[in-house]
Structure 1
Amino acid sequence: MRSGRWSRRALLPLLGIVAIHAPLVPVAPGSGAAMPDLLWCLVLAFVARAPDAAPAAVIVGLGLLADLMLSRPPGLGALGLLIASEIFRAPDGAARGWSPPREWLFAAAAFAATILATALAERLTLGPGLAALRGHVVATVLAYPFVALGVGWLLGQRPARSGTR
């Protein structure tokens, strides 16, 4: 059982690195299609289903790596990801009793808020405007349910419920 716990803990960093590199692959150069933030989807789906297998240090590390690899302001995306994941992991377990649509809505709102904060920070440094980030938000919101289903299938469980571990 102990090796199963460690394999679950190793799964998030491994899949996280794949999720960080996915937008860097030139799938359709010049198409202008927005790539979803698969790391965001992966981390929130993982924390909702296996909070003990997603330590905050790993989440921050993956978030910082993504910020650096994807040329985003270092730390803003990581901070937003950590805040959202800690709401899912709240000690009272309120978020764990959410239905899948409510979980999806929270993930979408939290991602949009993080993108807005990032856009405001980039605005100070003459980065891209909000219009350029709209497609990124939409793509991530649409990708979340599929990533959540995949994580649930990989872990063999549904989102953790209140009072259960």
Structure 2
Amino acid sequence: MNEQVSSRLWTMRLSFGLLVLVILFLHLLPLQTGGGGLIWPDFVLCFALAWSVRRPEFVPAILLAAMFLLSDLLLQRPPGLWAVLALIACEQMKGQSRALRDAPVATEFVSVGIWIVGVGIAYQIILAIMLVDGTPMIPALIQIVVTVLAYPLVVAITHGIMGVRKAAPNELGGKGFGS
């Protein structure tokens, strides 16, 4: 039985890594060859937050850090800044996952939305303080809003298609995480 749980744990961790790689691959495809295209949500952050709330054991900090750093490098952002901010948000949501397990879905959306807004604004402020050229403020704010609005869709995909659901009370281990 314990071997089956361990196998599922590593399968889901591998699945998360592959999911992030697919998202990054699709993001890097030259689908918008003209200027002024659509502003897409940060799906990597959305899925990381959704998995952090639902099953924190599936996304350990080292995996999240590696995936966020990889996305920084591939998307040509300053290496590590977005990764650190996103990792802080995910780890905080992991800490709240037990309380959010029994809370209404709207509470989860508000909590995650606050973190998405906080990470996005902190990223822009730090870039401005360090005098690093980043995304102009209006498109950055639009991406923050679009990311918050995309979170319910990501939760539906995570829950319905991928089967990553919140742990039931009898599934929780000593740390409050699913076993």
| 1:81 counterpart = 2:86 | yes
Shift of 1:63: 0.6
TM-score, scaled relative to structure 2:
0.81
Mind listing any 5+ residue stretches in structure 2 that lack a counterpart?
173-177
Query: Number of residue pairs matched?
Result: 165
Task: Give the aligned CA root-mean-square deviation in angstroms.
Answer: 2.2
TM-superposed deviation, 1:155:
4.3
| Structure 2 residue aligned with 1:149 | 156
- Where do 1:107-122 residues align within 5 Å? 107-122=112-127
Task: Please tell me whether the aligned partners of residues 73 and 118 of structure 1 are also in contact (alpha carbons under 8 angstroms).
Answer: no
Are 1:139 and 2:139 matched, yes or no? no
CA 91–23 in structure 1, closer or farther in 2 if over 3 Å, else same:
closer
**Aligned-partner residue type, residue 124 of structure 2:** A
Structure 2 counterpart SS, 1:93 = helix
Q: Which runs of 4+ in 1 moved over 4 A?
A: none
Distance 1:138 1:26, change over 3 A: farther
Q: Measured at CA, do residues 117 and 162 of structure 1 come closer, stay the same or move farther in structure 2, by a change above 3 Å?
A: farther
1:1-165 matched pairs, under 5 angstroms: 1=4, 2-30=6-34, 31-90=36-95, 93-123=98-128, 124-160=131-167, 164=172, 165=178
User: Which has the greater radius of gyration?
Assistant: 2
CA shift for structure 1 position 154: 3.9
- Quickly say closer, same or farther: Cα 1:160–1:29, change in 2 above 3 A: farther
Hey, what's the Cα distance between the residues in 2 that align with 1:93 and 1:19? 28
Cα deviation, residue 150, structure 1: 1.0
Could you list the runs of 5+ residues in structure 1 that have no partner in the other structure? none
TM-score, structure 1 as length reference:
0.87
Question: Residues of 2 paired with 1:128 and 1:4: CA distance?
Answer: 39
**How far apart are 1:42 and its partner, in Å?**
0.7
